[in-house]
Chain A
Amino acid sequence: MDLPNLEYAAPEIFVAIASMVLLMIGVFRGEGSSRPVAWLSMAVLIVAAVITALITPAETKYEFANLFVSSSFTTFLKVGVLLAAAVGIMMSVGYNEREAIDRFEYPVLIVLAALGMMVMVSANDLLSLYVGLELQSLALYVVAAIRRDSLKSSEAGLKYFVLGALASGMLLYGASMVYGFSGSTNFTNLAAFLAEGATPSVGLIVGLVFVIVGLAFKISAVPFHMWTPDVYEGAPTPVTAFFAAAPKLAAMGLFMSVLVGPFGGLAAQWSQVVIVVSVTSMVLGAFAAIAQTNIKRLMAYSSIGHVGYALVGLASGTKDGYSAVLVYMAIYIVMTLGTFAVILAMRRNGSMVEDISDLTGLSKNNPVMAAMMLIFMFSMAGIPPLAGFYAKLYVFLAAVDAGLYFLAVIGMLASVLGAYYYIRIVKLMYFDEPEEALDPHPGRDLGLVQFVAGMATLLFFLVPGVLVGAADKAVFSLASG
């Protein structure tokens, strides 16, 4: 029996051991250890991202009896997930201290969730996919309910848990059908089985549909989105910010690698499902967000819509489309984290406010923050030359190249509708008179996140090649490996 080559799993092993060490530090230092543990967790995530980037193999490598895969595709997603998680922890430190929920377990759970996402992204078998997904989800359920004295937070955690368990059940049911009708759970074997050209059995397709349902829940695509607004609203705001960023990227990457890798031979079948999910997500995201008054609920519907746009690229079924999905998700994460940094800075008389109307007249009181919010909102609406415009441009171009004109047209109409509520926020901030000013001092960490995300969104058009090149390289390894 050969020993597995542990080199390619080095980031996972490092993060797993580090999470236990961090927990030990927290337990033995006791009270007041949440701040050092949080900063150390950030350092761990960043070091893990560096290790991931350094050990990227030139060609796709399979380890642990084919359960684990490492390639430039997994590197792209892992680095994105780890950095997003690190920013998520950074934004939470000040908030948790002010709201008296600064427990050292919080950053440790985020690190473990990030580990689950790394496992998901690196899965080359339905078994490792499921275990990674559960590791991630379990940690997320707990952090959603971390403010255990608040009814809303507990409700968010419980709701997320129950619906997540349902989705996991669907996924497992689908996986068992796939196993029953193809004889393997391994992605490599499944791809070989489907490449033989035999007509796929109905049972296999039904199984695939169930797997898609389970994964669509995780990316909160319509019609499996119902949990999103409630969980986003109920969870503490830094948790919401984290939910909207890292898990979305990981789940979308997983969704793509499952559909393109093992089930690439069934593209004709799954692309129909993806098109329907994409159209409904875009349309619902645009319409349902209009009536919202809570900015966290608005962001929930906005994230549903954005997932719909990203799926347009997947539906196109081309390498350009896949690369557009990655670019879209990367840009979306930067915009979302920036927006949440603004939301976290919304405080009045020392307590959090989260109504959209609380932003009224922000430009008079805090012009810098208002300008950053302006950038994020215009970018989410897809106004050139901001990053969000390019993200949408790439996915719609891919759809048009693949001949999916109606999908591109619906997407553009939905983005025009969506622009209404993004620009309404800009109008509130710039053209309405302020009622009562927000507290001025947002904290240096939030200011830094706002500034970096804002500049990245604003100046993306100068150097789009960096991100697009990385995404192209990642997709090359996915589609060929």
Chain B
Amino acid sequence: MILQTIAFYLFAVVAIASAVMVVTARNPVHSVLFLVLTFFNASGLFVLTGAEFLAMILVIVYVGAVAVLFLFIVMMLDINFVELREGFQRYLPIGGLISAILLAEIIFVGGLWALVAEVKGALSEKMPEESKLTNTEMLGQLLYTKYVYLFQLAGLVLFVAMIGAIVLTLRQRTGVRKQRVSEQVYRRRADSVEIKKVQPGEGV
């Protein structure tokens, strides 16, 4: 138990600290790297609550794909980040207000959960029994049995998205020099080399 508590505080503190660093770091590449650190710690928190599937998804999707994509964009685009930061002071009041509202909402929800007995009961009802199945198995069983129809249809939606992206953006450019390996391989010496006897004193 004590180990779990230590791990929780470790993950939580590092997550919050690196989240602060995401917004305050001067170098945008550092920001993105701190974002990756935040995601890792958040996934550690998910593991602690028993949601191992969410933890892995967070690492695979957010760290593996989204954050790396951010990194690419930050490094490839020539954005002047000093200019972007100029409005920081000006927008601080409204940003602070929104943060305060969000904080108040979280406290409200958490307080409700902790204090009102009815809510506590309703929430604990839906919790899966730990002994029966891991939540990866449970999600898999639902997706591939009960919701297999929707699962397949979602695949078709992605299929349409893929076709659409290709139809709307792929252009066959003419005049592009492509390497044609078969032509190179089949090229014979006789086709390309010609031996000419040059008489002395005359041109070719």
Contacts and interface: CB of A to CB of B under 8 A. Distances in A.
Contact of B160 (A64, A138, A146): A138
Contact of B167 (A65, A132, A134, A142): A142
A145 B167 CA distance: 10
Interface stretch (B41-49, B60-68, B146-154): B146-154
A105 B160 CA distance: 10
Given A115-B156, A131-B157, A135-B157, A109 B149 contact: no
Nearest to A134: B157
B163 interface: yes
Contacts of B164: 109, 138-139, 141-142
Interface of A: 1, 4, 9, 16, 20, 23, 64-65, 67-68, 103, 105, 108-109, 112, 115, 119, 127-128, 131-132, 134-135, 138-139, 141-142, 145-146, 148, 157
A16 B153 CA distance: 9
B89 interface: no
Contact of B159 (A67, A112, A131): A112
Contacts of B167: 103, 105, 109, 142, 146
B76 interface: no
Contacts of A65: 145-147, 149
* Chain A to chain B: the 6 pairs with minimum beta-carbon distance, closest first: A142-B164, A64-B149, A65-B146, A131-B153, A105-B167, A138-B160
Contact of A1 (B145, B153, B156): B145
Interface of B: 145-150, 152-154, 156-157, 159-161, 163-164, 166-168
Contacts of B154: 131
A18 to B, nearest CB: 12
A112 B158 CA distance: 12
Nearest to A119: B153
B148 A135 contact: no
Nearest to B164: A142
For B147, B152, B157, which residue has the most chain A Cβ atoms within 10 angstroms? B157
A146 B168 CA distance: 7
A239 B168 CA distance: 15
A157 B152 CA distance: 26
Given A109-B167, A127-B147, 13 more contacts: A1-B145, A4-B148, A64-B149, A65-B149, A109-B160, A112-B159, A127-B150, A128-B150, A138-B157, A138-B160, A138-B161, A142-B160, A142-B168
Contacts of A128: 149-150, 153
Nearest to A154: B168
A243 B115 CA distance: 54
